Structure formats: C-alpha cells, structure tokens
Amino acid sequence: MRKLISTGSPFEERIGYSRAVVSDGWVCVAGTTGYDYASMEMPEDVAAQCRNALFTIEAALTQAGASMADVVRVRYILSDRADWEACWPVTSTVFGAIRPAATMFVAGLQTPQMKIEIEVDARLPE
C-alpha cells in the first residue's frame, strides 16, 4: 500500500511531489524548507527556518501515523555551512533523545532566501 501525504503547499502540485510517502512501513518525508505554510512567508533567521521545517515534517509524520520519535534518518541541507551551528539548539531539542542517523551537507537550494532544507525517513510504529 502506498499513501501520499500533502501539507497543502502550492509547491507540491507545481513541482510534482508529495510532502511524504508511506510505503511498506516506511515514511519518507521530502526535503522541507522553512516556509510557514499558514502565511507562506520564509523567516530570514536560519534557526527559525529550521524550526518551521521540523514543524512541517512533524505534521506530515502525524498524518502518516508516525511521530518524530519514529525518525531513523535525517538529512540537513544548508546553503551555507556557517549557518549549521545556529541550528543545533533546534535540532538537539527535537532529536536529542531520539538520535537518528544524520547527515549535513551544503548545496544550492531552490531560492536564495532558503537557508536550510530537511528530509527524514521514519518507520511506522508497530
């Protein structure tokens, strides 16, 4: 069974992706940036973008029947490696006790205002 999860972001339809896909006990959450989808605004601060991205990811996991505690893999993509340390208080608050496997890398993101993109893989609870 395959289930598609949407956050209602206009980008999902325009680009052609789902916020998350549930398949065979896995929840794969697409790269998620720091937009506040209620206001469709992107904060300037990287830590605020990180918080927004994790909030969106948490909502997608909830729709899928999982939670942040079920995350086994997280990937952080930043446009500037110098911004990474500013995100640590946010990421450690969310994942400090969960301790998923994690990778951070630097890449160009879709727009210059995007400073971080986060994707996760989670296992549905049994």
pLDDT in tens, 56-95: 999 999 999 999 999 999 999 999 999 999 999 999 999 9
Cα(36)–Cα(33) distance, integer angstroms: 9
Q: Does the pLDDT at position 117 exceed 90?
A: yes
Mean pLDDT of the chain: 95
* CATH fold group of domain 2-123: 60s Ribosomal Protein L30; Chain: A; (3.30.1330)
For 9, the 3-state DSSP assignment is coil
pTM (2 d.p.): 0.94
Strands (E), the chain: 2-5, 20-23, 26-33, 71-78, 101-106, 116-123
Across-strand partners of 2? Answer: 23
